[in-house]
Chain A
Amino acid sequence: MKLSKSLKHALNMMLHSKLRSWLTIIGIVIGVSSVIAIVSIGEGMEQSLNAQISELGGDILTITPGVSRSGDRHFRTTTASSSQATEEEIVLDRTDVQALRGIPDIDLIDTQIRKNVDVSYRDKWGSLSLTGVDQKVWSQITTEEIRDGRMLDSADQNVIVIGASLADNYFDQPLGINKVITIEGNSFRIVGILDDQSTNIIMPIQMAYQVMDGKEKDIYDSIIVKIRDEENLDAVVEKIENKLMITRHVTESNKDFTITSNVQIMEMRSEMMSSVSLFLTAIAAVSLLVGIVGITNTMFTSVLEKTKEIGIMKAIGARNKDILAIFLFNAGLIGLVGGIIGVVLGILLSGALPYLLGDMTIVRGGTVVSLNVIIFALSISVLVGMIAGAIPAYQGSKLKPVDALRYE
């Protein structure tokens, strides 16, 4: 029998055992839709992270003091220029910046300090993260975009740029350009609002030294560098490492600073998200497994119910492979229909998830159902159906016609 004919008979069989077929299909639908929905979360996270990575740019490196290796922190004695710092504190200072200036591959260097500070506006208080930046280069090095107003520039003093959340929602009234807020008792005028969702405050580093308690001049929490050629990233990292090790009098074994590229940070986050996503998919796959058991059960029942028909078909010339094909296609079709409905339901579910789960981290990047996932889900459902139906179909095909005909 031609395969197209086998398919036709399989379809006929499915249409004439509607209730049982549909009950089995529901099992597959639940499995496939949950897999689709969960994979869509994973893809959404990945796409959003990828977008962030590309926004961040691969040419930015962050140098921070200290290094954590097997929980063993290395310290160095501070240099003369940072003699006020406690002896056991690891810091980055002007010496480091000067050393970095000697590397021709580096285009820009931004020094930053960071601390939580008390902020008030019209009698409302809050503790927020303040970052002091080198305003001469920050606007060129940052990947942040300005929504309103402008970036900091070199002549700025008592001005700040703030995150959009701080501007819009943090205080009772929204903060706009030229509004003045109080930070640790000093007044600052807002000149720019970032296009992000943060409550960060950015101000010139010299002003930040003044408002932050315990921060010493020319001691930095991090140094951000922008390299000239992104392609040379690894080579430049090595150069920086070597240079800093010399100036800081450390070796590879007691290195006391860390160089991280933004891409690295995002990749780490991406890997973590992938693990979460994989775990969730595994849970969803369990329901698909239940669906497979359902198909197998249905097919066994179907073969039993159709024993007499198998006998009739064999009597009128059906070969074993014809019977096998009909039952396999029947199982495959159940899988396919379950898959199609599952995909549709999965797409709807993934669209609804961000609303259902609210502001949970895993759906913050939105959900994405890619064509690959749809094709994969459909192929898997058909394959799963056929695998589940294989043993019952084989048993049916092997029935002796005389026994099958006698079956009531």
Chain B
Amino acid sequence: MLICNIICLIHNVEIEYTQFYNVYTIKEREIKLEHSNTLLNFENVWKIYQMGEVEVPALKGIDVGIKKGDFVAIVGASGSGKSTMMNLIGCLDVPSKGKILLKGQDISRLSESDLASFRGKTIGFIFQQYNLIPTMSAFENVMLPLEFQDVVDSIASKRTREILEFVELSDKMHNLPSQLSGGQQQRVSIARCLVTDPEIILADEPTGALDSVTGENIIKMLEKLWREEGKTIIMVTHDLNLAKYANTTIELKDGEIIRIQENCNSG
């Protein structure tokens, strides 16, 4: 711990100097990845969108690996390709070229139905706009992923209560999303993400729609999940202040990774 604190101190000095980051070259990072046990691996991943007759590449040959227990922030300006990368990590889309290995499985080779099941069990989503089903109560929203996995009602119900307790919403479980504040809705969204105990939590601008205090609470909750529960967290954000909570920051520009930085945090 002491060593860590010292390293952190040194880093803090550098942060002022280099704007939060301790910079490694991409090459150095890749070499490091080859030797680690990666949970998610992008191998020369391209995503090309067809806009009429024009092909627009959103991602251009991405090579990156994410280890189990990482807290990765994907940053970049609007149009840099971070949402596309997020969709690919979340198995919501498949690459145009290249290979994505999630837990050793090539997601392009999975059928739509298998991909849905795999996604449901492995990845939990937290969206910027919470994306709760407006006609369902907080409880029903949180329980929904378990229903898709055919979990027995009694177990699903118990698990939902526990998770809602964890996000401190036991007293609001029967409220509809419209009856909850933004922060409460995001906590429901986190509870829904956690209820299936996923290995990867994928958060897309999780504090984007929240005020700074509520946003801080949410990011602290994510940090807690990372530190205490050992979850792998991948967060897309344009907010560099949020990125500092992550242990690794991947910066994208025009569909390419321009920087991979390791922060002073460790899980």
* A:310-341 near B, CB below 8 Å: 311-322
Residues of B within 8 A of A320 (CB): 112-113, 116
Contact of B116 among A2, A5, A319 (CB under 8 A): A319
Structural contact, B117 and A12, CB atoms closer than 8 A: no
Q: Is B121 engaged at the interface, CB distance under 8 Å to the other chain?
A: yes
Structural contact, B116 and A16, CB atoms closer than 8 A: no
B70 to chain A, nearest CB (A): 21
Structural contact, A316 and B150, CB atoms closer than 8 A: no
Structural contact, A314 and B116, CB atoms closer than 8 A: yes
Contact of A316 among B87, B140, B192 (CB under 8 A): B192
| Contacts A400-B93, A402-B92, A405-B92; A319 near B148 (Cβ below 8 A) | yes
Give the complex CA separation of A2 and B125 in angstroms: 23
Q: Is B48 engaged at the interface, CB distance under 8 Å to the other chain?
A: no
B151 to chain A, nearest CB (A): 10
* B:56-104 near A, CB below 8 Å: 87, 90, 92-93
| Contacts A1-B150, A400-B93; A317 near B117 (Cβ below 8 A) | yes
Q: Is B33 engaged at the interface, CB distance under 8 Å to the other chain?
A: no
Structural contact, A315 and B92, CB atoms closer than 8 A: yes
* A:6-25 near B, CB below 8 Å: 12-13, 15-16
Structural contact, B93 and A402, CB atoms closer than 8 A: yes
Q: Which of B93, B145, B148 has the most CB of A within 10 A?
A: B148
Contact of B145 among A12, A15, A316, A402 (CB under 8 A): A316
A234 to chain B, nearest CB (A): 64
Q: Is A401 engaged at the interface, CB distance under 8 Å to the other chain?
A: yes
B128 to chain A, nearest CB (A): 11
Q: Is A248 engaged at the interface, CB distance under 8 Å to the other chain?
A: no
Contact with B along A117-128 (1 / 0, CB 8 A): 000000000000
Give the complex CA separation of A13 and B132 in angstroms: 14
* Chain A interface residue bracket vs B: 20 to 34
Q: Is A309 engaged at the interface, CB distance under 8 Å to the other chain?
A: yes
Q: Is B5 engaged at the interface, CB distance under 8 Å to the other chain?
A: no
Structural contact, B192 and A315, CB atoms closer than 8 A: no
Give the complex CA separation of A288 and B250 in angstroms: 59
Residues of A within 8 A of B144 (CB): 313, 316
Structural contact, B133 and A309, CB atoms closer than 8 A: yes
Give the complex CA separation of A179 and B87 in angstroms: 99
Contact with B along A267-293 (1 / 0, CB 8 A): 000000000000000000000000000
Q: Is B36 engaged at the interface, CB distance under 8 Å to the other chain?
A: no
* B:143-193 near A, CB below 8 Å: 144-145, 147-150, 192
Contact of A2 among B121, B147, B196 (CB under 8 A): B147
Residues of B within 8 A of A2 (CB): 147, 150
Contact of A402 among B87, B121, B127, B150 (CB under 8 A): B87
Give the complex CA separation of A314 and B118 in angstroms: 11
B106 to chain A, nearest CB (A): 18
Give the complex CA separation of A12 and B147 in angstroms: 15
Write 18 A-B pairs (CB below 8 A) sorted by A numbering. A1-B148, A12-B136, A312-B131, A313-B144, A313-B148, A315-B125, A316-B120, A316-B124, A316-B125, A317-B117, A317-B119, A317-B121, A317-B149, A318-B120, A319-B148, A322-B148, A401-B92, A405-B131
